[in-house]
Amino acid sequence: MLKFVKNTPFIEDTSLNDILRVCKTPFYIYSQEMINQKVNYTKKILGNNIFFSVKSNSNQAVLKLMQNLGLGADVVSIGELKRSLTAGFDPNKIIFEGVGKSKDDLLYAIQKNIRLINTESLEEIKLLEKLAKEKKKKINIGVRLNPNIDGDTINKISTGKKTDKFGIEINDINYIINLIKNSPSLNLISISCHIGSQISKIDAYKNTFAEMKKAADKFVNAGVEIKHVDLGGGFHVKYKEGDPNFEIQDVKRELDICFGKSKYDISFEPGRYLTAESGMLITSIITKKQNGGINYLIVDAGMHTLIRPAMYNAYHEIEAINNKSKNKISYAIAGPICESSDVFQKDIKLSEQSIGDILLIKNAGAYGKVMSSNYNTRELPAEILVNKDVFAVIYSPQKIEKYIDEDITPSWL
C-alpha cells in the first residue's frame, strides 16, 4: 500500500507528508484504488451477489464507495442500517441480521422494506410474525442457521459451532418449517450462515456448503420455497508471513462442486477481505523508555485506536518511515493507555527511532476504526481516504470537551 519515491512515502499518488501536515496522528488511511481492486476481484470470482459486511468498516465514504461498486450491505444493527440507507444503498440490497434485534429494530426494518431480515432464533420468527400481522404486511425473511462447523479460527471470532450464540440449530429445521407453514405473514425465502472470521481452511467452507445445501433442499422438499442461500463472510486475510495462503478461487471451486447444478441464488457477506489490506493506522512516537531491558516506543495510537492486538492477540505488521540507520534495534511498540495489554508488538527490529517519528500499522482497514473507543478519555482517530493524488478527511473526531459535556451531573452533587 505504501511506496517510497525518493525517500518520501506515498499512498497511491499522495505524499503521506502532505496528509501529516493537515491531520494529527493517530489516524486511519485507506486507499480507494486498493478497495476497488479487491471488490472487483471478489466480484469476478464469486459473482455480483456480494453484501459488504458493514461492521468491518462503516465510514459513510467507504459505504458510498461500496455502493458505487455495486455491492449490497449486510448490517447487524439499526445504526448500521441507518448508515447504509444514508450512504444510498437501495433498501432492496440490504440484509439485516444479528442475534439480538429488538422489537423497535424489527419494526424499523419492516417499515424500510429492506431485502431480508435474517432471523436468528425461533422466538424472533414468532415476534416477526406478530409484527408483520399488526402492520398488515407480508414480509420476506431468512433464517440464519448454525451448521455446527468449527472454522478453526481464533475462538473469539468463531460463530458456527452449535455452542456459539449465533443462528438456529440445523436440528430445528422441522420446527421452522412448521412455524412458516402456519404463518400467514412471513415468506421464508433465504437461509444463511456465517461460521466465523479469518477462515482459511478450505474444508471448513466445503463442509459448510454441504450442510447448507442439505438444509436448503430439506426446506424445499417440505414446500418452503428457498430462493437464496447466503454463505456468509469470513475470508482469510494474510497479516504476516507464514499465515496460510488463502485463495477465494478455492472457495469458488468448492461452491461449484456443491451448488453448481442447483437453482439457488448464492450470495456472500465479506467484510475484512474487502478492506483490511487497504487500510493503515498512522501513529507517531510520543516517547521512548527502557524498562527491564526492553526498549519501549510509546506511540499515540493504542488499544483505544486499534483494539485487535489487545483483544485477540492479533498481529499487525509495523513499518517505520525512519529507516535511516543500518543498525537495527529491538523495540516493543506500546500505546499510551494505562493497561498492560496495550502493546502492538513486543519485539520488532527497526532502525533507531526518535521521538516524533512516524510508524505505520498495517492491514488495519477492517475492524480498526469501527472498534475504537474513548477509553482513558481520549479522542477517536480521524480517517482519510486517498484517491490517486487527492485525499479527503472522511472522519473528523469530536473534541474531548464534547464527550465531557455529554455527561450529566445530577443536581444533588
Q: Indicate if 338 belongs to the active site.
A: yes
Identified binder of ligand LLP from the candidate list 30, 205, 239, 367, rule CB under 6 A: 367
Would you count residue 197 as binding ligand LLP (CB under 6 A)?
yes
Identified binder of ligand LLP from the candidate list 232, 302, 335, 381, rule CB under 6 A: 232
Residue with cell 502532505: 18
Nearest to 88 by CA among 78, 109, 73: 73
* Under 8 Å between Cβ of 69 and 39: yes
CB of 13 to ligand LLP, least distance (A): 29
Identified binder of ligand LLP from the candidate list 38, 83, 194, 206, rule CB under 6 A: 194
Size of the site for ligand LLP (CB under 6 A): 21
- Considering beta carbons, is residue 10 or 239 the nearer one to ligand LLP? 239
Residue with cell 417440505: 222
Cell of 409: 451531573
Identified binder of ligand LLP from the candidate list 25, 31, 53, 305, rule CB under 6 A: 53
**Alpha carbon distance 210, 221 (integer Å):** 16
Would you count residue 74 as binding ligand LLP (CB under 6 A)?
yes
Tell me, residue by residue from 313 to 352, as one string, x for binding to ligand LLP by CB under 6 A and - for no binding: ----------------------------------------
* Under 8 Å between Cβ of 39 and 56: no
Handedness of CA 215, 217, 218, 224 (dihedral sign): positive
Would you count residue 157 as binding ligand LLP (CB under 6 A)?
yes
E strand or H helix at 28, and its extent?
strand 27-31
CB of 108 to ligand LLP, least distance (A): 19
**Alpha carbon distance 245, 237 (integer Å):** 9
Nearest to 360 by CA among 333, 397, 378: 333
Q: Say if strands 51-53 and 294-299 run parallel, antiparallel, or are unpaired.
A: unpaired
Identified binder of ligand LLP from the candidate list 26, 233, 335, 336, rule CB under 6 A: 233
Active site members: 338
Residues that bind ligand LLP (CB under 6 A): 53, 56, 74, 97, 157, 159, 194, 197, 232-235, 269-273, 308, 312, 366-367
